[in-house]
Amino acid sequence: MQKVKINGLALDVTTNSPVIILAPDDSEKILPIWIGHYEAWAIAMELSGLSSKRPLTHDLLKSCIESMGGKVQKIEVTELINQTFYAKVYIDIKGKTMEVDARPSDSIALALKSGAPIFVADELFQLKRGDGITPDFSDPESLRERLRRINPEDFGKYSL
């Protein structure tokens, strides 16, 4: 597992889907994950330091965990199966660690709200064409170039 940070969040105008880019601190590697609009909105709000007037789903989940005496320890993006990423949320409740299956987008939003670190399995940074992540690119540099061309302002069209 490699500890990562959010290296970008934008709208892929080709697919009209938000994409979040995760990257280790000490590497040029990136992992793009296309996510839903609602989750992107929640992540963007957290990254911008904005809050909603009423709790969002991720706020509610954090509040439930904390009201049961729990704390989000970390999240891990663990694998890619049939073009779907999987993640786990690790929650400490009274000294016992609970492992919860979750979508990466929900996990990342919860990690940001909880101040928990985000980790990605090493093998996910080794994906190549045909592994299901980017079937329309012939090499990782093509993906990197497409992501460079995404206009961050396009994502801003979704009002907070």
Per-domain boundaries in the chain? 2-127+137-155
- Buried b or exposed e, range 65-91, using 16+ CB within 10 angstroms: beeeebebbbbbbbebeeeebbbbbbb
Which of the four pLDDT bands, split at 50, 70 and 90, describes residue 104? very high
Q: How far is CA 28 from the centre of its chain?
A: 18
Indicate the residue type of 107: S
Q: Give bridge partners of residue 69 from the DSSP assignment.
A: none
Does the structure show a pLDDT above 70 at 153? no
Write down the pLDDT at residue 154: 47
* CATH no., domain 2-127+137-155: 3.10.690.10
Query: Mean pLDDT over residues 116-135, rounded?
Result: 72
Strand 70-81's sheet: what is its strand order? 31-34, 17-24, 2-12, 118-120, 70-81, 84-93, 96-102
Which of the four pLDDT bands, split at 50, 70 and 90, describes residue 157? very low
Instruction: Output the pTM of the full model.
Output: 0.77
CA distance 22 to 19: 10
- Those residues whose C-beta lies under 8 Å from the C-beta of residue 111, and which sit 6 or more positions away, are 72, 74, 75, 89, 117, 118
pLDDT (tens digit per residue) in 73-92: 999 999 998 888 999 999 99
Write down the pLDDT at residue 155: 46
Query: Mean pLDDT over residues 109-116, rounded?
Result: 94
pLDDT (tens digit per residue) in 8-32: 888 877 788 899 999 998 888 888 8
Write down the pLDDT at residue 128: 56
Residue with the larger pLDDT of the pair 52 and 97: 97
Cα separations in angstroms, 122 against 14, 26, 36, 79, 133: 28, 13, 24, 10, 15
CA distance 157 to 155: 5
pLDDT (tens digit per residue) in 26-53: 888 888 899 988 888 888 888 888 888 8
